[in-house]
Amino acid sequence: MSVSVLVLFDIDGTLLDTHGAGRLAFIRCLSSVFGWKDDLKHIRFAGATDLDLLARIVREHGREPTRADEQAFFDRLPVELELALAETGGTADAVLHPGVKPLLEALSGRPHCTLGLVTGNIDTCARIKLALFDLHGHFVLGAYGHEHGDRIEIARLALRRAAERLPPGASFDRVFLIGDTPNDIRAAKAIGATSIAVATGGQDGAALKAAGADFALRDLSNLPAILEILDLA
């Protein structure tokens, strides 16, 4: 009897690093949409969602965010991200983290393994970042940072969407969520997933274990070990 496995991935810090292009896009988008000059030095992007970030910043500027604010900002954000990534220099030097491509290729080749996204990025920005390294074709579903401000709710939405792809009455035998922050670990716990945390986003293994990760890895480069964790070896 075949075993059905769902593996959900965060993007920034887990799969890749755009070296500040996302932050720069946010800064420029605030200027172009609202006319605000804000360097966002006090804002931590790791583990956050775009919707929550926008709401916090708008409130800091003295007003309540509206749907019109969200629409205008998220329409412009991918344009600013493309511009930031096109620049030469530090913010444009996107990096693919070790082991990502071999892992995604190995998992995509297994018929009973479903790959999805749980990301704080809005969907258009997620696609832009994944396309930098031709990763977008590996993921058949996702839930995104414009759909809810809370990463836990985004994870629940991804799990629902994955379940809807299964035959009637079927369920996943195992669910994993791979990320790089305590917020990813909390999201995994909330949906009953095994959390695999990687230290490629700035948090070391000890901190990730202390945050409750079931497994804490340096990166995704040890393919046999990861397949063993996923019980797909």
CA nearest neighbour of 97 among 218, 213, 210, 229: 218
Percent of the chain with pLDDT over 70: 97
Q: Are 126 and 45 in contact, with CB atoms under 8 Å apart?
A: no
- Torsion, Cα of 138, 181, 223, 101 (10° steps): 30
Radius of gyration, alpha carbons of the chain: 18
What mean pLDDT is reported for the chain? 93
Residue 92, pLDDT score: 58
Whether the predicted pLDDT of 90 surpasses 60 = no
Q: Round to whole Å and give the CA distance between 204 and 217.
A: 9
Average pLDDT of span 161-171: 93
Using 50, 70 and 90 to split pLDDT, how confident is the model at 91? low
CA nearest neighbour of 179 among 1, 3, 12: 12
Domain residue ranges in the chain: 5-18+96-229, 21-92
Handedness of CA 167, 168, 174, 180 (dihedral sign): positive
Residue 40, pLDDT score: 85
β pairing state of 113-118 and 95-96: unpaired
Neighbours of 99 (CB within 10 A): 19
Q: What number does CATH give the domain 5-18+96-229?
A: 3.40.50.1000
Residue 207, pLDDT score: 94
Q: What pLDDT digit, counting tens, does each position of 107-135 carry?
A: 998 989 999 999 999 999 999 999 999 99
Handedness of CA 188, 111, 144, 133 (dihedral sign): positive
